[in-house]
Amino acid sequence: MLINRKEFLLSLLLSITVLLSGCDTTGTGSDPKPEPDVYLVSSSDINAFTKDQLGTQIAQQFPAQYQSIIKGFLRYDVKVYKLVYNTKLPDGTATKASGAIIVPTVTTAVPMISQQHGTILNDADAPSNFGPGSDAAFGGTFFASNGYIMVCPDYIGYGESKAIPHTYEHREGLATASLDMIRAAKEFIKQKSIKWDNRLLLTGYSEGGFATMSLQKKIEEEFPSEFTLAASSIGAGAYHKTAFMKYIINQKTHGIASYNRLYLWTMLTYNSLYKLNKPMSYYLKEPYATQATQNGINININVSISDIFTDSFKKAVNDGTETGFLNAVKDNDVYDWKPKTPTYLFHGDADNLVFFFNTQDAYDAMRKRGATNVEIKPLPGKDHGTAVIDYLLQTYLFFSSVQ
């Protein structure tokens, strides 16, 4: 009996979901055209996989009873390459960065997906290192084996640029590194005579969600005619930085140390990149100020993070007199604009790392600006971790529908 592919995937998605639940700014039209062949520096082979090898690798990420099903609908062998390319740091300094490109072995032209990875703590998980825990090795190969050219930037701070501090949750740093990786990928596939149908799709989850929103906004507003954006699927990003920051400063939240380190990481990044250069004792009470000064984000904060900020810093934020920090945070708001590209916003409504209001605020602001092609996709009962599989499979269905 022949089964319609879309019906099959929908059935698969519903089955996995049931299982897991039991456990107005517009482009000007005059965007500058980049000169040809100025981004790609070098390319090198990373690996190659048959679809059967991929089936085993990818299926291991799913519950055992579904692994044979996952293996059954991968379609193509893939080749994985590392690209080194030219880009710029947030201050305009030229540098080199890297990423992975995963190419299906097909003879027809296929779309391209730029996949922005989530937060990583080790360089081994950068896409160009292609470790087993990387987004590129899981989601990247999953999509590539189904007929997409996958472009996976490392960002600044990993791979080729690992000696430079990562631009964590910084709009411009993430967007520029991702955009220039796509440009380098265009040059690479031209060199290799790889067939691309010129459609570009964007996706990312968590930090990758924020990076994807930042990238999409940059492309649509600054380079509106450079790419043919077909769709964007974004998951669990911290788009409303101002509201998020004020919430964690003023409200009692979890005492999850690994989550609190990420909030601290964002603050340290902005303090540096925006040249605020305030001592940790300005932001944090002791002993956290001394610990952060000595060890950066590698400290144990097992209380509500609101409890560790100094009273004077809280007051300055709340009465608006801390203009430097507030302006830095506001510069990273990417929730209030009008996308032109069909966009899905996924988010678990029980997420206690990146709170759901980030996505709700973005959806409400975009719809208010008249963006009728933006849809919100709440994932009921899912937290930051358990929402990932739902986001991934529903993204696949979404992207399949726009082909």
> pLDDT tens-digit profile of 39-51?
999 999 999 999 8
**pLDDT tens string 266-290:** 999 999 999 999 999 999 999 999 9
Neighbour count for residue 132 (Cβ, 10 Å): 11
The pLDDT tens digits of the residues spanning 74-124 come to 899 999 999 999 999 999 999 999 999 999 999 999 999 999 999 999 999
Query: For residue 66, is pLDDT > 80?
Result: no
pLDDT band at 20 (very low <50, low <70, confident <90, very high): very low
- Between residues 108 and 138, the one the model is more confident about: 108
Mind listing the pLDDT tens digit for each residue in 150-195? 999 999 999 999 999 999 999 999 999 999 999 999 999 999 999 9
Q: Tell me: pLDDT of 60 over 80.
A: no
At 37 the pLDDT is: 57
How many other C-beta atoms lie within 10 A of the C-beta of residue 372?
A: 9
Residue spans per domain, the chain: 40-240+335-402, 241-331
- Interval 223-242 mean pLDDT: 98
The structure tokens listed for 34 are 């980049």
pLDDT for the residue numbered 219:
98
Q: What pLDDT score was predicted for residue 32?
A: 56
- Whether the per-residue pLDDT at 1 is higher than 90: the answer is no
| Three-class SS of the chain | CCCCHHHHHHHHHHHHHHHHHHCCCCCCCCCCCCCCCCCEEEEEEEEEECHHHHHHHHHCCCCHHHHHHHHHCCCCCEEEEEEEEEEECCCCCEEEEEEEEEEECCCCCEEEEEEECCCCCCHHHCHHHCCCCCHHHHHHHHHHCCCCEEEEECCCCCHHHCCCCCCCCCHHHHHHHHHHHHHHHHHHHHHCCCCEEEEEEEEEECHHHHHHHHHHHHHHHHCCCCCEEEEEEEECCCCCHHHHHHHHHHCCCCCCHHHHHHHHHHHHHHHHHCCCCCCHHHHECCCHHHHHHHHCCCCCCCCCHHHHECHHHHHHHHCCCCHHHHHHHHCCCCCCCCCCCCEEEEEECCCCCCCCHHHHHHHHHHHHCCCCCEEEEEECCCCCCCCHHHHHHHHHHHHHHCC
Which homologous superfamily does the CATH classification assign to the domain defined by 40-240+335-402?
Answer: Alpha/Beta hydrolase fold, catalytic domain (3.40.50.1820)
